Structure 1
C-alpha cells in the first residue's frame, strides 16, 4: 500500500515535470514578523508543541543493542532513552525520584543507572532497585518510585517520544500513517556513521529552509550550483510533508557512476525503491530527512531541530546514517566528505543567512514576511504551528482523529 502511494506521487511528479508546471498554493500568504521574534510566543511554542507533541528523538540505529541508552535535554525536559532486553525502546524522565538529579548523561550501554547524588539505583527499565542506606532512610514503596515513563513509539527505523507522561495523544495517530511511507527508506538495520550539532537561528526560521526549494539556486549557488532546481511539489499527511521536484528524471547512483533514469519510460515495478523516496521528508515539528550518496554508498542526513534557550536560537543535530557501514578507506573518506559538505551548506549558508534574517526582523520595522504560491510547504507549516499552539489537549485528539480518514483516501 505504501509503495502504491509512493508510485502515485512519482507519477504526479512526472506529469508536472513534462508539463513544466508545479502545484501552487491558492494565494500568497503573510505571516507576522513577530511570529519569529516574540519571546512570549516562543515560550508558548516550546510548551505547547515541543513539550506536548510527539518528537522524533533518535534514529533506531543510535541505540542498536540492548542496554544502549541516550540522555538529552529538550526544552528543559531531561529525557532518557534505553533499549530493553527484548529489543523495545523505553523513554523516561531523567530524574531520580529521590531529589530529581539526572541519573544518566551522554550515551553508552548500561543495565542500570546510579544517581550520582545519593546513590539510588535504577534498572534500565526504570525500576528502582536500590536505595542507599535503606536502614537510615526509612521505608518506601520502591514500585511507587520508579522513573517516570514517557509515551514512546518506534517505527520505520525512528524513535518518537512525547514529553508529557499523561498525554492521551496516540503517537501513531499523530503520524497520520506517514511512518508507513517512511518505511520505504528501509532504515531498519542501517548504520549511524557520524553525527554533530550545529547552532542555528529561531527554530521556525531554520525549519522554513527545509521546506523551501525556492532558495536553492540562489543561496546555494556556490555549493549545489546556480542551475539547481527551485520548484517542489508538496505532499501532506497531517502536518508532515514531503517535497520533491516535478520531473520525469531521477539520478541513480551505482558505484562511482551516476545514471540518469527516465521514470516515464519505466513500469511501476521497475522504479527503484531509493528513487521513490527522493526529495526532502519533514516530520512536524522539527525533522528533515534527505537522501545522499558518499562514494556510491546510499545514505541519508536526518536533521533534528530544537528551539534554543532564546527566541533567536536553535540547535540541530545532524545524523548521517548509511545503508551499509563503509569498510575501506576510500569509502570512509567519501562518506566523511559528503557529510562535511552538508555541514558547510547548512552552517555557512542556510543558518548563517537565517541568523542575519532574524537579527533584521528584530528591528521591528517589518510587519509581515511572505510565503509565495510556490512556497506551499512553508504556508502549511506555519498554519499547523498556529493551530497546534492554540489547541487544547482535547482538541489535539480531535484534530488528529480527523486526519485519519484523509489517509484512508490515499
Structure 2
C-alpha cells in the first residue's frame, strides 16, 4: 500500500476544496438508452463481463476460519468458496462430478463436503476422496474427477474469483495495483457485523448511482440532507475508480462528538487513514465501498452488485464490516441503526428511483441519456463496459497487462 499515493490524492482534493473547484470531464457524454434495456446486450454483458472478468466474491472476514465455506450463484454459475487448512482460499464450480448436483448451500464450516444426491465426498480443497459403493459403481480415477477450480485471488481483505476455469487473465493485473490502495482499510482484520440482499434495477442503472454524487442533495434530501455535497473528483486505476468530494475539511468521529479537521493545516504525516480512504471506492464491474460510523465505531458498507435474471433486475448484497466488533449493547444497537439507515437510503431512494427510471426507459421513447462534465465516473464506467464487452480474450489479457504496466510506472 502506498501512503504516498493516498496523500497525493488527498492533497488534490484539499486544493480543489480550498479553491471551490472540481475536476471536469472534457464534454457531456451521450449513452444510448438501449444500453439499459436491450435484452441481447444484457445477456452479452453477463457472458463477457460477469462470467469472464474477476469478481469480488466475498470479504475475507466472511470466511475467517479454516473449513468455512460459502456457496453462491452468479449469472447462472454455481460458485463454492472454501477456506483451506493453510489459510488460503479455494474457488470451485459447485457441482459434483458425478451428475452435477451442487455440493453446498449457503454458508457453513466443513472440511469435507458430501453430495446429497448419491453421497460422493470431496475435501474442501476440491479433492474427490469417496465414491459411494465403488464396487457397484465401477472403476474411476478419483484424481481426474476433482472439483473444477476457478482462478482465485485474495488481497487487501477481499476475495476475487474468475468464473472461467480456463481464464488466462491475471487477477492481479486486472486490479492494476488498486488492491494495494484498498489495503489501507485493513479489511483483513475487520469483523463482518451484518449482511442482507436487496432487489434492484438494471445492473448499470444501479451502479451509476454509486458513481454519482450529483444526486445526493436532491434524491437524499430527507436522509442525508439538502445541503449535502454534490461534487466529486475521480481517480482511476484501469476500470476501478475512487470518488471523493473536493474539500479541505474532514470530520473526525470521536464518541458522540464530531470534530471538523482542517486538512490544509495538517502535515502529511498527521493525516489519519480514515481521511486518506474517505469517499467511495468502486471495483469494476460491481463493487462499492464506503466508510461509515455506527456509534462511533469505524465501519464500511461493501455493496456487491450482480445482474438478475432479466434486463431490468439486479440484486445487491450489502456487507456491513467493522474495524472492531461491537461488544456492548449500545454499540451493537448503534451499528444496527447505521446499517438499517443505509438500507432505507439504497432500497427506498436509490433503487426505487432506478426501477422507475428503467420502466420509463423501456417505453423506447428516449433515445439517449446524458452524463455531464461533472459525472466523469459514470462516463468512465460506461466506456469500460463497452470496451470490455467487445474485447476478445486475447485483447482482454493485453488490455490489463498494459494497465498494470502503466500503474507500475
Alignment correspondent of 1:85: 85
TM-score, length of structure 1 as denominator length: 0.99
| Cα distance in 2 for residues equivalent to 1:168 and 1:256 | 50
Instruction: Note the alpha carbon deviations across 1:260-296, whole angstroms, 9 max, x for none.
Output: 1000101101000111000000000000000000000
1:72 Cα deviation after fit: 0.1
| Cα distance in 2 for residues equivalent to 1:119 and 1:408 | 49
Alignment correspondent of 1:168: 168
| Cα distance in 2 for residues equivalent to 1:14 and 1:275 | 11
1:259 Cα deviation after fit: 1.2
Alignment correspondent of 2:70: 70
Alignment correspondent of 2:341: 341
Alignment correspondent of 2:231: 231
Instruction: Note the alpha carbon deviations across 1:77-102, whole angstroms, 9 max, x for none.
Output: 00000000000000000000000000
Does residue 121 (structure 1) correspond to residue 102 (structure 2)? The answer is: no
Instruction: Note the alpha carbon deviations across 1:1-56, whole angstroms, 9 max, x for none.
Output: 61100000000001101111100000000000000000000000000000000000
Does residue 267 (structure 1) correspond to residue 284 (structure 2)? The answer is: no
1:255 Cα deviation after fit: 1.5
| Cα distance in 2 for residues equivalent to 1:401 and 1:373 | 29
What SS does the aligned partner of 2:70 have? strand
Which residues of structure 2 form unaligned runs of 5+?
none
| Cα distance in 2 for residues equivalent to 1:27 and 1:108 | 50
Instruction: Note the alpha carbon deviations across 1:319-343, whole angstroms, 9 max, x for none.
Output: 0000000000000000000000000
Alignment correspondent of 2:388: 388
| Cα distance in 1 for residues equivalent to 2:2 and 2:386 | 30
Alignment correspondent of 1:248: 248
1:150 Cα deviation after fit: 0.2
Alignment correspondent of 2:315: 315
1:405 Cα deviation after fit: 2.9
What SS does the aligned partner of 2:189 have? coil
Where do 1:10-409 residues align within 5 Å? Answer: 10-409=10-409
Confirm or deny: 8 A CA contact 2:239 2:380 kept in the other structure.
yes
Detail structure 1 runs of 4+ shifted over 2 Å in the superposition: none
Higher mean C-alpha displacement, 166-175 vs 253-262: 253-262
Instruction: Note the alpha carbon deviations across 1:92-145, whole angstroms, 9 max, x for none.
Output: 000000000001111010011110111100000000000011001000100000
Confirm or deny: 8 A CA contact 2:174 2:404 kept in the other structure.
no
| Cα distance in 1 for residues equivalent to 2:217 and 2:258 | 21
Confirm or deny: 8 A CA contact 2:282 2:289 kept in the other structure.
yes
1:408 Cα deviation after fit: 2.6
Confirm or deny: 8 A CA contact 2:156 2:179 kept in the other structure.
yes
Aligned residues: 409
Instruction: Note the alpha carbon deviations across 1:187-219, whole angstroms, 9 max, x for none.
Output: 111100000000000000000000000000000
Instruction: Note the alpha carbon deviations across 1:326-368, whole angstroms, 9 max, x for none.
Output: 0000000000000000000000000000000000000000000
Which residues of structure 1 form unaligned runs of 5+?
none
| Cα distance in 2 for residues equivalent to 1:325 and 1:266 | 30
What SS does the aligned partner of 1:149 have? coil
1:406 Cα deviation after fit: 2.4
| Cα distance in 1 for residues equivalent to 2:313 and 2:2 | 37
What SS does the aligned partner of 1:363 have? coil
What SS does the aligned partner of 1:312 have? coil
| Cα distance in 2 for residues equivalent to 1:329 and 1:401 | 49
TM-score, length of structure 2 as denominator length: 0.99
| Cα distance in 2 for residues equivalent to 1:268 and 1:88 | 36
